[in-house]
Structure 1
Amino acid sequence: MRKGQNTVHKISSLQAARGLAALAVIAFHSLFINAKYIPGATWLPDIFVFGQTGVDLFFVISGFVMVLASANKFGVRGEIFNFLKGRAIRIYPVYWVYFFAVLLVFMLKPGMVNSSQAGEVNLLHSFLLLPDANLPLVLVAWSLIHEVWFYLVFAFILLLPQRWVPLAFAAWLCSVALVSVLYSGPVSPYLRTVKHEFSIEFILGALAGIVYLKAISEPSKWRLPTGTVALFGICLIAYAVISGLIDGSDVIQSISLSRAFIVGGGYTLLLLALALQESKSQWAVPGFLKSLGDMSYSLYLSHILTLSVCGRIWTALGNAEGGIVASVLFWAISLPVVIIVGYLSYKLIERPLNKYLSRGLKVKRISQPVVN
């Protein structure tokens, strides 16, 4: 799989998908921000509810890229430590910047943070990204808790010989699916994370990564019709939209198996088709999508905070009236601000931190999607 290992950084479609996933999540959260700060009608379309699946896409991308980044490393002594060290550097330092920023606000004005759960939060669990009955201090970090779990399981799979890896992922997928069907009793926060159907989407992405590496290393044996694969993926996503499978309900406790397989499967097939087509034609995505992908983690961490600040400033300036005109004006100002803040966060915080820590701890930097 040497060829696959060398192409990890060149799959621009995965980078573009990161940016689109971040935009989708922003679109979903904009519905709630609009309802909170601009009463009355809104120009934001109902389809923005489907933006919630940006998280599903992030998980699929994460599984896909983890396999690509670990090609030829399965069963190699010492790789588990290098992998976990690299993932910790990628996830925690930037997240902690936002954690301490929100913590400062929480200490000065507790009512402004986590008001939906009366300010109840476990600071230690939030800091370490551990499962908890309450949401973390930085609300969007609930998805990072799943990422940490995925990385821990993946690290153990790294111990296995390469030939056993597909079987390990298949066993993990079957275990999650069976528990989802058979167990309906009470769950602790840790069990909720372990059994959550989001794991299926990460696994589907990982299996797609295995197929991709096989297809580019043995093209004569793995001739996949990328057009058909992409069409099937589009059909699954279209079905999810038409059937109302995504209704904006809470996904933190659990999601349906149908969502995991239909939405996660649709995104998996689309990513696989795009990556395979890119390996054949060497096409590149537009620069602005690549830039969005580069800053997607910072964008994900910062967007709710930025939108909340915009909303409070909007209200403080006396713009209490709602309606279409107010909504259009608010978003014409706020959305560019969200992108600018995400970009500055990436340039001034995320990228310098990653470079400094990677050099200091001698970790190879991997351009990879994190649920950001």
Structure 2
Amino acid sequence: MARRGTLRTVQVLRALAAIMVVFAHLIGPDTLEGRLPGHVGFLDGLGRLGPAGVGLFFVISGVIMVLTTMDSGAGVVPARQFLLKRIVRIYPPYLVITAFLFAVSLVSPGAVDSSQAIRPDDVASFLLLPQLGFPLLLVGWTLVYEMYFYLVYTLAMLVKGRARGVVLVAWTAATFVLMELVPAGGNAYLNLARDPINLQFGLGALVGWLLATRKAVAPIVVASAGTLASVVVLVLAAESFPPISGGSSLGRSLLIGVPFAILVYGAVGLEERGLVRAPSVLSHLGDVSYSLYLTHVVVLGAIKRAVTGLDDQRLAVHLGLLVLALAAVVVVAEVFYRVVEKPLLSVLHHRLASALGRRMPPVLDERVPPAAA
């Protein structure tokens, strides 16, 4: 089996994940909507989809990491190249936003994450290190988990073939052991290592391995089942179903991760056989999703301050402002992607390639190389 090219269905799913996370910070009594007069409760369910959006991002990350490295060699050099490429992909755009928020915090203490119980650790925020509270950029906590997974996968890159899978299985087992033996507490690093949300990366890696080693099985059936299961999970999340909204972390992580893993497997299988065509608008939004993820909290925070004191109770005004806020978030993300993220990563990619003395795929390009069944 040969597979080459960017998986556009995955980009569409990335777009949907980003939108769910945006809803979590846009809709609900404790968000921008809560600052608007005439709060309408019937939209609150959309604001509860944030954990599902994060879970979908984590599953996709596991899939892509495996698919893009299946043809890579094993050893110190490939592992180093993998880690450097992920660092260049994640840090530069993130640091731009974090530096901006740090400057704002110096000028106006309390303006950044003022609602959080624990003040952000500035050094940990810049380096994406674990901390007990949230980083300067609120959504940065998920990138801490991303970097942790990249470090684990870097270790897996030291070996090849089935041994790489053994490393990931051992990591999964270690996560379960830590969950049982180490209570959540005051050590941010242990909290990170024992968090069952990491299993969502593992589910994605399993899907990536299945897709890379054999042709997708019954993609129509699997995609249909994954879609149905995912919709059920999203509805239950919107309705604050206890096992998802208030259940154990392990149960919540699996209830969210498993349906999305099935969905991604089926979606890639459908694309592989030419049975679906990704909508270009959503596919492009998937390309922009990292910029959207990084900038939306800042944009919504600025809008929140701008509408403070507004006293128009009309429903049309309330809904219109929400639509305008969502549009502003997308426009700013598009600008950031074109003006900051894409040019910055292009320059750093060339420097990284020169430093390593070899030609490398662009950092923004997560194309899937051929894989033999």
* TM-score in terms of structure 2 length: 0.87
Pair 1:328-2:324 in alignment: no
Tell me which amino acid in the other structure corresponds to 1:337. Answer: A
* 1:287–1:255 CA distance, 2 compared to 1 (3 A): farther
Deviates more, 1:177-186 or 1:72-81: 177-186
Percent of pairs identical after alignment?
Answer: 30
Residue aligned with 2:39, SS = coil
State the secondary structure of the residue aligned to 1:361: helix
Which residue in the other structure is 1:34 paired with?
Answer: 32
Partner deviation per Cα, 1:2-59 (whole Å, 9 max, x = no partner): x34xx2x331101111111111111121123234411443266233112431100000
- 1:97-112 equivalent positions in 2, closer than 5 A: 97-112=96-111
Separation of aligned partners in 2, 1:305 and 1:357? 25
Count of aligned residue pairs for this structure pair: 355
- Residues 1:352 and 2:338 aligned together: no
Contact 2:185 2:191 in 1 (8 A): no
Task: In structure 2, give the amino acid aligned to 1:299.
Answer: L
**CA shift for structure 1 position 290:** 1.2
- Measure the CA separation in 2 of the matches of 1:44 and 1:52: 19
Extract structure 1 runs of 4+ deviating beyond 6 A.
none
Is the Cα–Cα contact under 8 Å of residues 298 and 345 in structure 1 kept in the other structure? yes
| CA–CA separation in structure 1 for the residues paired with 2:20 and 2:125 | 25
Query: Using the alignment, how far apart are the partners of 1:288 and 1:278 within structure 2?
Result: 17
2:352 paired residue number: 361
Residue 254 (structure 2) pairs with residue 257 (structure 1): no
| Matched letter for residue 291 of structure 1 | H
| 1:350 to 1:255, Cα distance in 2 relative to 1, 3 A | farther
Aligned position for 2:13: 17
Give, in whole Å, the separation in 2 of the partners of 1:138 and 1:244: 25
Deviation of the 1:196 alpha carbon: 1.1
Structure 2 CA distance for aligned equivalents of residues 290 and 313 of structure 1: 32
SS of match in other structure, 1:257: helix
Distance in 2 (CA, whole Å) between partners of 1:277 and 1:147 is 27
Q: Distance in 1 between matches of 2:231 and 2:42?
A: 20
Question: 1:237, 1:262 within 8 Å by CA — same for their partners in 2?
Answer: no
1:270 aligns to 2:263 (yes or no): yes
| 1:150-209 deviations in Å (ceiling 9; x for gaps) | 000000001112122223222222332343345435351001111111210001101100
Report what 2:297 is aligned to. Answer: 304
Show the counterpart of 2:371.
none
For residues 86-125 of structure 1, what are the structure 2 equivalents within 5 Å? Answer: 86-117=85-116, 120-125=119-124
> Is the Cα contact below 8 Å between 1:106 and 1:113 reproduced in 2?
yes
* Aligned CA distance change for structure 1 residues 180 and 237 (closer, same or farther; 3 Å): farther
Tell me what 1:203 maps to: 202
Closer, same or farther in 2 for the Cα pair 1:339/1:80, shift >3 Å?
A: same
Supply the AA of the counterpart residue of 1:295. V
Question: Against the structure 1 CA distance between its residues 177 and 228, is the aligned structure 2 distance closer, same or farther, given a 3 Å change threshold?
Answer: farther
Aligned pair in 2 of structure 1 residues 242, 339: CA closer, same or farther (>3 Å)?
closer
For residues 134-160 of structure 1, give each alpha carbon's deviation from its aligned partner in whole angstroms, at most 9, with x where no partner exists. Answer: 211111101100011000000000111
User: Any stretches of 5+ residues in structure 2 without a counterpart?
Assistant: 354-359, 368-373
TM-score, reference length from structure 1: 0.88
- Structure 1 counterpart of 2:356: none
Q: For the structure 1 residues 277 and 355, does the alpha-carbon distance in structure 2 shift closer, same or farther, using more than 3 Å as the test?
A: same
Tell me how far 1:232 sits from its aligned partner.
Answer: 3.2
Equivalent residues of 1:303, 1:338 under 8 A apart:
yes
Name the Cα RMSD after superposition: 2.6
1:62-101 equivalences under 5 Å are 62-101=61-100
